[in-house]
Amino acid sequence: MRIITVKDYEELSKKAANILASQITLKPNSVLGLATGSTPVGAYRELVRIYKEGDINFSEVVTFNLDEYYGLDKENLQSYYYFMRDNIFKFVNININNIHIPDGRAKNIEQECIGYEDKIKQAGGIDLQLLGIGRNGHIGFNEPDVKFEAQTHLVTLDEDTIEANSRFFASMEEVPDQAISMGIKTIMHSRKILLLASGEEKAETINNMINGKITPELPASVLQLHPDVIVLLDEKAASKL
Ligand code: F6R
């Protein structure tokens, strides 16, 4: 793991966007694994800025999102599909056919999950996977006690995750309690991983992820076994290292 610590969220966002932009420059048809949540919002904003300055081109880029809430359709304001469109896709020249996000309304979940894995394979695998991390150590929606061998699957969200994500919803009751998420195995198959964490509330989890033992109790600890991970932190998230 390569740990990079920067001063604050602004710097973290710029550096993350530069890493993503370099990936696209070096391989214009890169397959990117993307995350939602608060952490990558600044990185997406910066990436859009780099695009508007004419320095990168998304026309051949292929994307796969980590997860989607189960039960929400694309038009729902809280869906991750909507989030991605609103934060990045509507601003850049990505081909809509190259965007992949699990279908939260899929009738046949098993088929949706197997199909998602197939599409990743057909695209040639993920070149660079962007990750955030939950306070409980989840990556994607792989909650504590995860099976490391899992691929894309339906997950039940932890109470802690529902509480953390309720800030985007009118009430706790409205937060879906299930999601379709890439599994740990899917994430570990990416060629490179860039994990972002910002703020003090992530500090202890980050320390355990880097210096603790590898355990399903802290799903992100499995990243210690991946050969090419950058962990990009701001000073607060790095404060317990
Ligand atoms: C999002 C995802 C989650 C988030 C994590 C952190 O697609 O898979 O693992 O990365 O919950 O969320 P924030 O960035 O909101 O703290």
Paired tokens of 129: 């996977």
Atom of ligand 1 nearest to the CA of 67: 7
**Mean pLDDT (whole number) for 39-50:** 98
Q: What local confidence, expressed as pLDDT, does residue 218 receive?
A: 98
pLDDT, tens digit (0-9, with 9 covering 90-100), for 104-161: 999 999 999 999 999 999 999 999 999 999 999 999 999 999 999 999 999 999 999 9
Report residue 202's pLDDT band, with 50, 70 and 90 as the boundaries: very high
Between strands 99-100 and 67-69, the pairing is unpaired
Between strands 62-65 and 99-100, the pairing is parallel
pLDDT, tens digit (0-9, with 9 covering 90-100), for 66-87: 999 999 999 999 999 999 999 9
Q: What local confidence, expressed as pLDDT, does residue 231 receive?
A: 98
Tokens 């989890």 sit on residue: 205
Mean pLDDT of the chain: 97
218 Cβ below 6 A of ligand 1 = no
67 Cβ below 6 A of ligand 1 = yes
Q: What local confidence, expressed as pLDDT, does residue 139 receive?
A: 98
Report residue 204's pLDDT band, with 50, 70 and 90 as the boundaries: very high
**Mean pLDDT (whole number) for 200-223:** 98
Report residue 221's pLDDT band, with 50, 70 and 90 as the boundaries: very high
DSSP H or E segment with residue 34:
strand 31-34
| CA dihedral sign of residues 173, 177, 179, 183 | positive
CATH numbers and ranges of domains, the chain? 2-234 (3.40.50.1360)
Q: What local confidence, expressed as pLDDT, does residue 119 receive?
A: 98
Q: How far is the CA of 98 from the centre of ligand 1 (A)?
A: 22
Radius of gyration for the alpha carbons in the chain, expressed in angstroms and rounded:
17
Q: How far is the CA of 27 from the centre of ligand 1 (A)?
A: 26
pLDDT, tens digit (0-9, with 9 covering 90-100), for 189-198: 999 999 999 9
Between strands 178-181 and 153-156, the pairing is antiparallel
78 Cβ below 6 A of ligand 1 = no
Q: How far is the CA of 141 from the centre of ligand 1 (A)?
A: 8
138 Cβ below 6 A of ligand 1 = yes
Which residues are the active-site residues? 67, 136, 138, 143
